[in-house]
């Protein structure tokens, strides 16, 4: 799962989760940002592609490291 969170003053105001597939806002400002970002289809598809670029590429490396140390 790919998660990208945005913080301001140690308070999380938005989060993108690849399992949900969209941004979720946690504050009034975050809700406005999430609504704006969720309207942009190209931005959402770019965020979804990050799962393949970051997570799926590195999962085998992390898994192999865990097996060798246990």
Domain boundaries, position 16: 3-68
Rg of the chain over Cα atoms, rounded to whole angstroms, equals 15
pLDDT of residue 14: 96
Q: What is the CATH number of the domain that holds 18?
A: 3.10.320.10
Q: Which letter does DSSP use for residue 26 in this model?
A: S
Is the Cα dihedral 58, 59, 63, 64 positive or negative?
Answer: negative
pLDDT of residue 62: 66
> Are 25 and 14 within 8 A, CB to CB?
yes
Quote the number of domains for the chain.
1
Q: Which letter does DSSP use for residue 42 in this model?
A: H
Residue-wise pLDDT for 40-52, tens only, equals 999 999 888 888 8
């Amino acid at each position: 799962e790919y998660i990208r969170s945005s913080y301001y003053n140690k308070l999380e105001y938005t989060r993108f989760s690849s399992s949900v597939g969209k941004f979720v806002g946690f504050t009034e400002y975050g809700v406005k940002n999430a609504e704006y970002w969720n309207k942009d289809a190209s931005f959402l598809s770019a965020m979804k592609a990050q799962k393949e670029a970051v997570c799926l590429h590195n999962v085998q490396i992390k898994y192999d490291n865990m097996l060798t140390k246990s």
